[in-house]
Amino acid sequence: MENQFDLIVIGSGPGGYVGAIRAAQLGMKVACVEFEPALGGTCLRIGCIPSKALLEASHLFHKTKHELAQFGIDVGKVALNLPAMMKKKNDVVGDLTGGVAGLFKKNKVAHIKGKGRLDAPGKVVVALTAGGTQELSAKNVMIATGSTVARLPGVELDGDRIGTSTEALSYPEVPGQLVVIGAGVIGLELGSVWQRLGAKVTMVEYADRILPGMDAELGTLSKKILEKQGLSFKLGARVKSATRKGKGCSVEVEGSDPIACDRVLLAVGRIPYTEGLGLEKLGVAQGKRGDVIVNEHFQSSVPGIYAIGDVIKGPMLAHKAEEEGVACAEFIATGYGHVDYDSIPSVVYTHPEIASVGKSEEQLKEAKIEYKKGWFPFSANGRAKAIGSTEGRVKLLADAKTDRVLGVHIVGAAAGDLIAEAAVAMAFGASAEDIARASHAHPSLAEAVKEAALAAGSGALNI
């Protein structure tokens, strides 16, 4: 067994596996340690991918049932086959996690199966899944151990009726009543899935708005649209407890009657995961939330130990973790690695989708940056009309003096894809006029981005 490497990556999520591959491409001999049977981390196994598979399937179900008739398509009685829907989701996950194993082979990254612990700088002891231990050594170690679900006092997780996103990705039946604690990205996405499949969903949120942290106007607009679809919201509501009651559950909310339901989904965020890594013994500095503290080169307080992804500060997003994995590998190999944190988009895959990049209006106001604003509704976009998805709008914020794009916020069909144009434009330091003068295919949803850019300048053309 080979035990000597240039780089050992602990964790095979999007940060770790991408960082391992990039390091191998740059000529390093790399090992990646992972204790779960499948590679790909939270994102591929129990996060981004299975949730998007269910969002797509439940959207198709809902659309077939309620929207196809307007296009002149009569389908008769539409029935849900939940086991088949779950199988499709599991197949997608299986294909992609297997794909990572293939990429490791192609790039000669050694996959060490087991739980890794730092014994000393450059020394990782792995409790092997197959039994026994293996000692690995390398000049550099990249911690990419990700995150785990944040708990809420009083909410007694039982791994079944009162569970997390992991359980909500595999409910064996559609709950009659589902209470989702937390109206953030994960809560809204999984709440939408089960609501479309027939559950009555109540979202309980401590803040007085949904999607805390995102542009407020975007949040207000999204809430209205989601309410119309049937999601119900209790905002400014503090959950005191969630407990099993007979075959169902009861959720106690401060100042109101308890809510009886069939299932509870706790979705109040995630916290960095470093359990059993041995960081304390080595003196690796950690923040209040347990995150590994790193400098701009992803170096921890102990030389040779780096950290990236959900386990460090910043938004817990797969693509942020990937960028950091690549930048960290490049820094180790070349002495230079960089992530442009100002142009990292974030997307909520509800229908319509909600996507954002750059600064919100609230952040610009707080920083006292003068800005101009252009917006364009999808109801005035030809393609949106043709596909029957006219809800939402594009909002573009640009510097009042220089016209540089500072933020783009979209609610609308395919917003998660449309935001890529804005992210690239921002990464290149584009002005609103740059976007407005670029030709956009007609008829496309992307024309709404162009029109919002025009609206921030001399005026939109189609409204």
Q: Tell me which residue has tokens 């956009």.
A: 440
Residue 352: name the closest of 374, 375, 379, 373 by CA.
379
Which C-beta is closer to ligand FAD: that of 253 or that of 267? 267
Residue 442 appears among annotated catalytic residues: yes
- Tell me which residues in 90-129 interact with ligand FAD (CB under 6 A): 115-116
354 touches ligand FAD (CB under 6 A):
no
- The DSSP symbol for 108 reads T
Q: How many C-beta atoms lie closer than 10 Å to residue 258's C-beta? A: 15
How many residues are listed for the chain in this entry? 463
Residue of the chain from 28, 48, 110, 178 that contacts ligand FAD (CB under 6 A) = 48
306 touches ligand FAD (CB under 6 A):
no
451 touches ligand FAD (CB under 6 A):
no
Alpha carbon distance 255, 405 (integer Å): 44
Residue of the chain from 9, 15, 211, 302 that contacts ligand FAD (CB under 6 A) = 15
Which C-beta is closer to ligand FAD: that of 35 or that of 331? 35
Which C-beta is closer to ligand FAD: that of 42 or that of 300? 42
Residue of the chain from 24, 28, 43, 110 that contacts ligand FAD (CB under 6 A) = 43
Residue of the chain from 21, 264, 277, 411 that contacts ligand FAD (CB under 6 A) = 277
Furthest-apart CA atoms within the chain: distance in Å: 69
Instruction: Provide the minimum distance between the beta carbon of 338 and ligand FAD in the complex, in angstroms, as a whole number.
Output: 18
Helix/strand/coil percentages in the chain, nearest 5: 35, 25, 40
Helix axes 48-66, 82-106, angle to 10 degrees: 140
Give the residue at shortest CB distance from ligand FAD: 146
392 touches ligand FAD (CB under 6 A):
no
Contact 442, 250 (CB under 8 A): no
Instruction: Provide the minimum distance between the beta carbon of 126 and ligand FAD in the complex, in angstroms, as a whole number.
Output: 7
Q: How many C-beta atoms lie closer than 10 Å to residue 340's C-beta? A: 11
Alpha carbon distance 323, 15 (integer Å): 7
14 touches ligand FAD (CB under 6 A):
yes
Query: Does residue 400 sit in helix, strand or coil?
Result: coil
Contacts of residue 431, defined as CB under 8 A and 6 or more positions apart, other chains included, come to 398, 402, 403, 404, 405
Query: Which of these is catalytic: 319, 338, 351, 442?
Result: 442
Q: Tell me which residue has tokens 């750059």.
A: 358
12 touches ligand FAD (CB under 6 A):
yes
- Tell me which residues in 137-196 interact with ligand FAD (CB under 6 A): 144-147, 165, 186
- Rg (Cα) of the chain, in Å, rounded? 23
47 touches ligand FAD (CB under 6 A):
yes
Instruction: Provide the minimum distance between the beta carbon of 75 and ligand FAD in the complex, in angstroms, as a whole number.
Output: 29
Return the half-sphere exposure (C-beta side, CA atoms, 13 A cut-off) of residue 18. 19
- Catalytic residue numbers read 442
Residues near ligand FAD (CB under 6 A) are: 10-16, 33-36, 41-43, 47-48, 51, 115-116, 144-147, 165, 186, 273, 276-277, 309-311, 316-319, 321, 349
